[in-house]
Structure 1
Amino acid sequence: MACGHSVPARRVASTHSHLLKGNASEPSFEWVGTDLEQVFLARPGCRREARMSSEKKDEMKSVGRRGFLRGASALGAGAAIGSALLPGCDDSSTPASQVEWDEAWDVVIVGGGGAGLVAALSAIEHGAEDVLILEKGSELGGTTAVSGGQIQAAGTSFQSAMVSGDTPERHLEYYLQAAEGVADEDLLRTLTENAQAAVDFMVSKGLTYVGVYGVSPIPTVDADLMVPRIHIPSAGGEDALQGGAAHVSVLKDAAEADGVETYLEAPVLGLVKDENEGVVGVKAMVGGVESFLQARLGVVLATGGFDRNQAMNKEFSPQQMWELETGVCYCVPENQGDGIKLGISVGAGLSGLGGTIGYPGATMGTAEEIGGIWVNRQGQRFCNEEGHYAYKMLHVFGQERHQAWAVFDQSVADVGGEALGGIFGGWSADLSAEIASGLISRAETLEDLAAALDMNAAQLARTVASWNEDVGEGADPLFGRTLALRPLETGPFYAVPVTSVNLGSCGGLKIDTSCRVLDMEGAAIPRLYAAGMAAGGFIGPYYPGSGTAVLSTVVFGRIAGEQVAGMLPQEGSV
């Protein structure tokens, strides 16, 4: 197990005694912190003095407990690395004599994105009275809010209008084949068996779905399993919110109606454990003040992945790091792996690390009107250009120097930059701006184009000649492509690097089907749960298609909320 460094706990005089319920004995606690701003400088045995001044006590008193969606004072949340990544330190944690809580809640949820909102609603539904969401950012929603918001499911009424005979069992088999043997089958079964209920849950909150579509070809997955399952969300009519914004909007409205409390700009600094290794609360910044918040029933980690954390990417996902360095990332900046680091700090295991949600910026070969082929430094094709986006990006990463180019001719360039720019928002009409910037290379011959790219010119010529011969016969025998089977023969010729529009990391805390966080030996850490992309183990070497992440936020969020609400209050809770 990687080593960890824990910050000593300290006794805090309660400034919110009126918020605490009952007069219980004071159990022994342990403060396990990731020390988010100083973790790289930490050394074994160091102590952080954190006495609360009278001025801070007064400031804490001004932060009321009610008031949905209020923002705390501005606070910069530093990027962090979990203590388990620190080299040369031990795994010991320093126990505190006692902690007196500043606030007490039934359930504390770390992260206010899709998974956190669903977990809060589920906890309320199953009997929790006081539920608090701690969100590091200035607004709720996380990456879910800026995503497409699609959700995968089999057997829904929306899907049945287009496809007959699909079942959760077939959906599971699709996920298993896409995972190539490295995902947890029990977690995938939990997702697919609860997917229809997840859609029904979202509909009950006011969402609807306006279409269903399928995943592009994956050569390792049976074609008959790849039916439309990806549901497109909408909040209503033409002027209503669409996509992830619609998905999050109905959840926020429901949370407000149910009395879920939210503290914004409130990063969590660490977890508090009792003498039985159970997680009984958190330390967080609330109103700019370090505060201990008790969770009588438990804590749910729902902070998303480590999408933008360079150090964690280097450690856990070289492809994610490459995609961030060479492409762009559409995830929210708050996705720094905080929940994963918090879990690591109390001994959690990890699962499913390494994959990414990579989407290629290049459009060549992906639509009927846009021809072209993708080649590597040797001038060879290596995939079906119209195939599933994440599968293709995994194979781009697998090429020499992780490099590939989309090669096309003047007939494709004549389609115009608006179409060719794809997800990047379009290029100049004649590509002149992109050529001038060096993004696109242009040459009169394939040999000159290869020389400009330091590519194997003879092999590129052979590849294009073979392609032209095959498409002349109306087929792609090498990879089975069916779209834009057009020759490349009209100079000048062009090439653009295939880089990623990254939509997030894959992998996280190891969980079971009850969403309990497990330690390295597979034992549950008491009262600690995870949901959404902070959890791992249900995705294989590449992301298996749009709607999987949102499905995990709804299914695992509902399970985590139900499970934590069903816990008996911790002994000595107030």
Structure 2
Amino acid sequence: MQTRRSFLKFGAGAAAVGAFAPLTVNAQSSNIKWDESHEVVIVGSGFAGLAAAVEAGKLGAKDIVVFEKLGVYGGNSTLNAGQACFADTDLQRKLGIKDSAELMVKDQLASGRGYASEELLRHSAELGPYVYQLTKDCGCVYRDHIINTGGTSATRSHQVVERSGAGFIRPMLKTARSYGVKTKTRHKFEGLITADDGTVLGIKVRKGYHTDHEDSGKLINVRAEKGVLIATGGFAANVAFRQALDPTLGDEVGHTNARGATGDGLIAMLAEGAMPIHLSFIQSGPWASPDEGGFGYGAGFSLYNFPHSIAIDRNTGMRFMNETADRKHRADLEIQRRDKDGKPNPALLIAPKHEAQKDPSMENVLKYNVAWEFDSVEAIAKHFDLPLKPLKQQIEDWNKYVKAGDDPQFGKRMDMSTGIYMTAPFIVQRLWPKVHYCQGGIQINTKAQVIAAKNGKPIPNLYAAGEVSGGVHGVSRLGGCSTPDCMAFGVTAARSMMKA
């Protein structure tokens, strides 16, 4: 029996195919006027697109072009915390951390709740060491510290010194250009150009595009000799699209994405007959703050402090979750924090300043009123109208858990809290989820080929990588795992095109 949820999960993709069918232009190559022709055509300049450009250059491609819709490079990739989960690296070994691709896949499968693709996750995890080295060869510099993200069995999230995705994007863009890669901003992807047999011949692009004027620029036809890689990211910024898939994700829930994350590439591939998968699996970030826009400084503060801090329900003054559980678990619980009228009543993340100050994010969250410093538990309770007695008891209990190395309340991993007691002064930040990542998209295989819905076979010359693809992570993606996933399948797409 088809439920409303199952229709949203699978039917919305089919509806999109019909609604956006005009985006695809069917033509014989001899009947179309090509304005440009390139060996490898890449749409999107984020992690996936630039990894593909660098790899294609390494493999000897002579004419590579990267098209970017916005006026700056990097898209959504520049807005993350500069983290990437890799297993069994030299830095992990140096820090005494035991890890493996096998364990990383196991953690991700658990987070995916039965929907993740073991084959695709394994492909990405096993490529991890190569991608890690590729980024270092491009000039990316990692901190001598690895972050613990929720839902993992080993500490594996490596972070660049900039603590921003720009720490990956800038060196990779420079390296791509050293291979002669052409990079073009303000070129909006408008659709695929295909032959009668479905083979992708090229793309239609709006040259000179400006986001405030949808019809700006000039339409041009770009031929792709070896193939087209769609690496345009997700659709978190398209509120109407995401709310049609998940009714809970309306305007009340913000997002962390760049304004360009509107699903252009996804919609065009659906119009071409690509297989939609898991479209309603949309993840919200539990580390977000309602007191700033976008990803913000609060995310970095939360990510650093969750392992040794406590999240408090303002109605009860007590913890309500494992602060290092996977993202979906925490975001689902956070969005349930409401006042008696059902309005959002964001939870509080309480961190001890003696530890929080070790991370540079503390200075920014205090400077921009995303977090506040308090000298006592009483001051916190008064400011946020919390019941004082249970809050004091909760902090006392928490310190006992730290001493014992065990959390009987929610089963939190305590190895990252050893010796870090909850004592004054405190730094407190509000928590409210924001839409962060779309697990759903179009289906790909381990060659990064796009799969057709009508026959389950690859669409010739069409590749996808990153958030625009779906089915990889299942219901919930673990933190720090999108960056290596994007890069691994960008690399894979380049290899597939160069072998074709």
TM class by smaller structure = 0.7 to 0.9
CA distance, structure 2, for counterparts of residue 562 and residue 201 of structure 1 = 14
Structure 2, unaligned stretches of length 5 or more? 1-11, 209-216, 290-297, 374-378
In the alignment, residue 259 of structure 2 is paired with which amino acid? P
* 1:104 counterpart residue number: 37
Q: Counterpart of 2:365 in structure 1: which amino acid? A: G
Give the equivalent residue in structure 1 for 2:223: 294
**C-alpha distance in 1 between matches for 2:349 and 2:60:** 60
Kindly indicate whether residue 458 of structure 2 is the aligned counterpart of residue 524 of structure 1: yes
SS at match of 1:385: coil
Residue pairs, 1:64-463, within 5 angstroms: 84-85=15-16, 95=26, 98-163=31-96, 165-218=98-151, 226-234=153-161, 243-287=164-208, 288-318=217-247, 321-322=249-250, 325-327=252-254, 329=256, 331-353=257-279, 354-358=281-285, 359-361=287-289, 367=305, 373-375=311-313, 381-385=319-323, 387=325, 391-397=329-335, 403=344, 405-406=346-347, 425-426=365-366, 449=385
**1:535 shift after superposition:** 1.3
TM-fit CA distance, 1:82? 8.9
1:319-373 deviations in whole A, cap 9, x for unaligned? Answer: 6x35x634452x2211111111111110112234323250233879984999764
Residues 360 and 389, structure 1, Cα contact 8 Å, conserved in 2: no
- Select between 553-562 and 499-508 the one with higher mean Cα deviation: 499-508
Q: AA paired with 2:232?
A: T
Q: How far off its partner does 1:539 sit?
A: 1.7
State the one-letter code of the partner of 1:215: N
Structure 1 residues 373 and 173: alpha-carbon distance in aligned structure 2, compared to 1, 3 A threshold: closer
1:111 Cα deviation from its structure 2 partner: 0.9
Q: Distance in 2 between matches of 1:84 and 1:554?
A: 30
Deviation for aligned residue 1:545: 1.5
Contact kept in structure 1, 2:115 and 2:475, CA below 8 Å: yes
CA deviation string 1:199-244 (max 9, x = no partner):
11112222232334243453xx6xxxx222111224xxxxxx6642
How does the TM-score come out when normalised to structure 2? 0.75
Q: Is the 8 A contact 1:269 1:284 kept in 2?
A: yes
Deviates more, 1:464-473 or 1:183-192: 464-473
Query: In structure 1, how many angstroms separate the alpha carbons of the residues matched to 2:190 and 2:218?
Result: 11
CA shift in 2, pair 1:309/1:472, >3 Å: closer
Structure 1 residue identity aligned to 2:288: P
1:176 and 1:304 mapped to 2: Cα distance?
22
8 Å contact kept, 1:351–1:510: yes
Structure 2 counterpart SS, 1:425: helix
Give the aligned partner of residue 61 of structure 1.
none
In 1, Cα distance between equivalents of 2:371 and 2:24: 58
In the TM superposition, what whole-angstrom CA distance separates every residue of 1:404-441 from its partner, at most 9, and x where no partner exists? 543699x989x999x9x9698227899999xxxxxxx9
How far apart in 1 are the matches of 2:370 and 2:25?
64
The AA in structure 2 aligned to 1:172 is: V
2:447 maps to 514
The residue type equivalent to 1:392 in the other structure is R
Counterpart Cα distance in 2 of 1:506 and 1:369: 25
1:16 aligned partner: none
1:554 aligned partner: 487
| Distance in 1 of aligned mates of 2:397 and 2:65 | 61
* TM-score in terms of structure 1 length: 0.66
1:398 is displaced (CA, Å) by 5.5
The amino acid across from 1:513 in the alignment is T
Distance 2:146 2:335 in 1: 27
- How far has the Cα of 1:558 moved from its partner? 0.5
Aligned to 2:4: none
Contact 1:377 / 1:403 at 8 angstroms: preserved in 2?
A: no
Q: Secondary structure at the match of 1:526?
A: strand
Equivalent residues of 2:83, 2:157 under 8 A apart: yes
CA 469–343 in structure 1, closer or farther in 2 if over 3 Å, else same: same
CA pair 402-346 structure 1, distance change in 2 beyond 3 A: farther
Check the 8 A contact 1:144/1:248 in 2, yes or no. yes
Deviation at 1:167, TM superposition (A): 1.8
Judge conservation of contact 1:327–1:499 (CA < 8 Å) in 2. Answer: no
Q: Cα distance, 1:551 vs. partner? A: 0.4
The answer to whether the 8 A contact 2:307-2:324 is kept is no
Per-residue CA distance 1:122-155 (angstroms, 9 max, x = gap): 2233343322111101121112223222221112
Alignment of 1:558-569 (within 5 A): 558-567=491-500
Instruction: Report % sequence identity.
Output: 25
Indicate if the aligned counterparts of 2:282 and 2:435 stay in contact, CA closer than 8 A: no
Superposed CA offset, 1:237-294 (max 9, x none): xxxx664222111111111111111221010111111011111111111242111111
The 1:402/1:182 distance shift into structure 2, 3 A limit, reads farther
